Amino acid sequence: MEQDLLLALWPQVVLPIARITCFIVLGLFIASFIESLNWTHKLATLARPLIKRGHLSNITGASFSVAFFSGVSANTLLAEAFDKGQISKKELILANLFNSLPRFFLHLPTVFFLTAPLIKFGAIIYVGLTFSGAILQTILVVTLGAFLLPVNDETLSDVPPAKTKTSIKGALEKSLKRLKKRILKILKFLIPVYMIFFFLNWYGIFNSIEGYLAESSFYLSWLNPKAVGIVLLHVTTEFSAGLAAASALLAENSLTYHEVVIALLVGNILSTPIRAMRHQLPYYTGIYSPRLAIQLVAVSQLTRAFCLIFVSVVYFTFSKLI
């Protein structure tokens, strides 16, 4: 047992930590570089109509734009701004939620081309509903920002504020200097948190939670019994296993597209929080403080679940009427 544990440390701890650290370092460098050159105003252009309505800042808008390409860079941009006092904690939480839409587009090709061959027309419905959930979350963020945040004069003008121009070389030097200061802090929290989650996984804690959800499937009694199998595979294994089961049941005409889509949505809602704790939280602690990382992940997952449940209930009610 101990020998197996030691052998697992390299592929399951050392390499993942090294990979995550590289991404965080790259993200932190990009965020610092953008801020040094005062590009936040330019990058915020894409989201300007929304950030104006939500009383959000150009930093949040820039993070939104960067999130289409790199979630780590988007988060490090927000973390840097929060540490400097450029954005409040309320805006940080809203900004993290605001980035759900670009995160959706970042993973859209993978999700669509995985689902389309297996559940065909059901893929369009499933992707459309998850997209609706991301849109609903964006609307909620903009609405909450309008009520919770003061009017941000910075976002009311399309003209960037006048600042001392920084050369590319100066921005690089400044970014590297700040990166050196942050790297030890990143590793200080990232390594112990990742180790904790590795041991939780190694000793089967997450499997026990997933098993409990699978065994306590009484709350799925409203689903077609055959659809419950898709949900349980989604929760206990991975998304592709649930898709494979859905494909087989569709081929046998055992389930309709509506039933398959509902089962996949339920599996998504139940499985994502566990996977977020296992994969998202460790790297968040390398960007934010542990307490703040837990708060951001918890709020993100609760909001995401609420939005998906809402669109699922609307779809389920509508599918019953037709």
How much is the average pLDDT of 98-103? 90
Query: Any idea how long the chain is?
Result: 322
Q: Is the pTM of this model over 0.75?
A: yes
Taking CA atoms, 88 is separated from 83, 93, 172, 302, in Å, by 9, 9, 27, 21
CA distance 116 to 126: 10
Q: Is 2 exposed, middle or buried (0-12, 13-18, 19+ CB in 10 A)?
A: exposed
Residue type, 16: P
How much is the average pLDDT of 53-80? 87
Residue type, 283: Y
Confidence of residue 215 (pLDDT cuts 50, 70, 90): low
The winner for highest mean pLDDT among 59-73, 119-133, 231-245 is 119-133
Look at residues 321, 318, 322 and name the one whose alpha carbon lies nearest to residue 129.
318
CA distance 283 to 275: 13
Q: Are 61 and 186 in contact (CB under 8 A)?
A: no
Please report the pLDDT score of residue 212 as a whole number.
63
Candidate from 41-50, 120-129, 297-306 with smallest mean pLDDT = 41-50
Q: Are 149 and 55 in contact (CB under 8 A)?
A: yes
Q: What percent of the chain has pLDDT over 90?
A: 21
CA distance 304 to 137: 7
Answer with the residue of higher pLDDT: 302 or 9. Answer: 302
The winner for highest mean pLDDT among 100-104, 239-243, 255-259, 271-275 is 100-104
Residue type, 107: H
- Dihedral sign of CA atoms 148, 71, 116, 207 in order: negative
Give residues with Cβ within 8 angstroms of 269, minimum separation 6. Answer: 305, 308, 309, 312
Q: What percent of the chain has pLDDT over 70?
A: 76
Confidence of residue 8 (pLDDT cuts 50, 70, 90): confident
Residue type, 303: T
Give per-residue pLDDT as tens, 127-166: 999 999 999 999 999 999 999 999 876 655 544 444 555 5
Give residues with Cβ within 8 angstroms of 173, minimum separation 6. Answer: none
How much is the average pLDDT of 14-20? 78
Give residues with Cβ within 8 angstroms of 305, minimum separation 6. Answer: 269, 272, 273
CA distance 8 to 2: 10
How much is the average pLDDT of 198-221? 66
What's the token pair of residue 111? 């999700």
Q: Are 154 and 161 in contact (CB under 8 A)?
A: yes
CA distance 309 to 286: 30
Confidence of residue 90 (pLDDT cuts 50, 70, 90): very high
Tell me the domain boundaries of the chain.
2-321
Residue type, 280: Q
